[in-house]
């Protein structure tokens, strides 16, 4: 278990996904689906169209622009999938509304920005003001941010609830990898694949942080106000660069340079993914098969 067959990966659409409470969301070219294991033991599956702005404005599909668009769309779809999973995976009659979910995630986003972006920027802005050395303080800020982020993931991964979500994360990766290698979507067959995947969102996040170290080391920071503002302003630029790096890593996965670039993200997935059970693989398969079915009906499976 954990060793993928040697057959070459498929070259059609690059599918993605996301683990949710007791379930998995899978995303295709024009459709996404979510499957959730309900308290009864049954699997709830539903799918939706993706109304992408790139269909109306093809220029947004260009490199460095598409990364920002994909990130925004992924966040939107992820919120909807989380809402569905949260309401389907519990026996409680009190269901979360989209407004409640939006407020919860909004607060979480504010805290994330405060802890991982503004906090380190303010701390090392003070260090630079006190001791000087703009370049090394920018580098140290980036390193501190990476260490803080890894420590956070390790800490939450030790909780029972998050650990189980990480198991569904592994199921998502195994299912997508099996499809890319042309292996039948059967739990026993796909469980041979590794739980880590080169296009994982964890890879994207760690690439973002590494690119941040390089970009911010080149940006002059004459004052704390500009230091904080630059961290926010540069987010779209960094997201675009990181997305292209992620795509290159997936496309040239046999390149030693690309393997080295992707290595930190693969290593971090030892924390954010765990080996799934058979019933969790079944949920991931149900979600992926729903996407494949919808795209087959629409004729977009190989877009």
Residue 222 has pLDDT above 70, yes or no: no
Is 2 inside any structural domain?
Answer: no
Is 243 inside any structural domain?
Answer: yes
Is 4 inside any structural domain?
Answer: no
Q: How far, in Å, are 192, 280, 285 from residue 6 at the CA level?
A: 12, 25, 21
Residue 40 near residue 60 (C-beta atoms within 8 A)? no
Mean pLDDT in residue range 181-192: 93
CB atoms within 10 A of CB 164: 17
Whether the predicted model's global pTM rises above the 0.85 cut: no
Mean pLDDT in residue range 214-241: 74
What is the per-residue pLDDT for 32? 94
pLDDT tens sequence across 136-170: 787 888 889 889 989 999 999 999 999 999 999 99
Is 65 inside any structural domain?
Answer: yes
Is 303 inside any structural domain?
Answer: no
Residue 276 near residue 170 (C-beta atoms within 8 A)? yes
pLDDT tens sequence across 10-67: 445 678 899 999 999 999 888 999 999 999 999 999 999 988 788 788 888 888 788 7
45 HSE (CA, 13 A, CB side): 17
Residue ranges making up the domain that contains 266:
16-298
Is 1 inside any structural domain?
Answer: no
Is 3 inside any structural domain?
Answer: no
pLDDT tens sequence across 64-95: 788 788 878 888 888 899 999 999 988 777 67
Work out the pLDDT band at 302, boundaries 50, 70, 90: very low
Q: Which residue has the higher pLDDT, 243 or 195?
A: 195
List 48's β-bridge partners, or say none.
32
What is the per-residue pLDDT for 17? 92
Q: Which residue has the higher pLDDT, 107 or 6?
A: 107
Q: How far apart are CA 15 and CA 32, in angstroms?
A: 10
Mean pLDDT in residue range 179-200: 92
Q: How far apart are CA 60 and CA 54, in angstroms?
A: 5
Mean pLDDT in residue range 253-280: 88
Total domains in the fold of the chain: 1
Residue 2 has pLDDT above 50, yes or no: no
What is the per-residue pLDDT for 133? 67
Is 11 inside any structural domain?
Answer: no
Q: Which residue has the higher pLDDT, 285 or 15?
A: 285
């Amino acid at each position: 278990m954990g060793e993928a067959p040697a057959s070459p990966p498929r070259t059609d659409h690059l599918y993605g996904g996301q683990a949710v409470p007791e379930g998995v969301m899978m995303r295709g070219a024009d459709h996404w689906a979510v499957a959730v294991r309900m308290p009864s033991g049954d699997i709830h599956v539903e799918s939706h169209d993706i109304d992408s702005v790139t269909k109306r404005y093809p220029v947004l599909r260009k490199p460095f622009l598409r990364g920002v668009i994909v990130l925004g769309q992924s966040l939107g779809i992820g919120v909807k999938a989380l809402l569905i999973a949260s309401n389907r995976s519990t026996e409680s009659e009190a269901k979360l509304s989209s407004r409640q979910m939006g407020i919860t995630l909004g607060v979480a986003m504010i805290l994330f920005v405060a802890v991982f972006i503004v906090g380190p920027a303010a701390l090392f802005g003070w260090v630079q003001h006190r001791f000087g050395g703009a370049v090394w303080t920018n580098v140290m800020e980036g390193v501190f941010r990476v260490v803080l982020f890894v420590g956070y993931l390790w800490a939450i991964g030790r909780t029972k609830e998050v650990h189980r979500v990480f198991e569904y994360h592994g199921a998502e990766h195994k299912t997508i990898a099996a499809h890319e290698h042309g292996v039948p979507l059967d739990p026993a067959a796909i469980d041979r694949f590794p739980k880590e995947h080169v296009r994982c969102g964890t890879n994207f996040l760690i690439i973002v942080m590494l690119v941040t170290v390089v970009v911010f080391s080149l940006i002059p920071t004459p004052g704390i106000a500009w230091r904080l503002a630059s961290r926010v302003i540069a987010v779209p630029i960094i997201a675009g660069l990181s997305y292209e790096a992620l795509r290159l890593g997936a496309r040239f996965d046999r390149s030693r340079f690309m393997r080295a670039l992707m290595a930190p993200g693969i290593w971090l997935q030892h924390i954010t993914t765990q080996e799934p059970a058979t019933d969790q693989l079944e949920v991931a398969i149900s979600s992926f098969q729903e996407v494949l079915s919808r795209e087959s009906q629409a004729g977009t499976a190989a877009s």
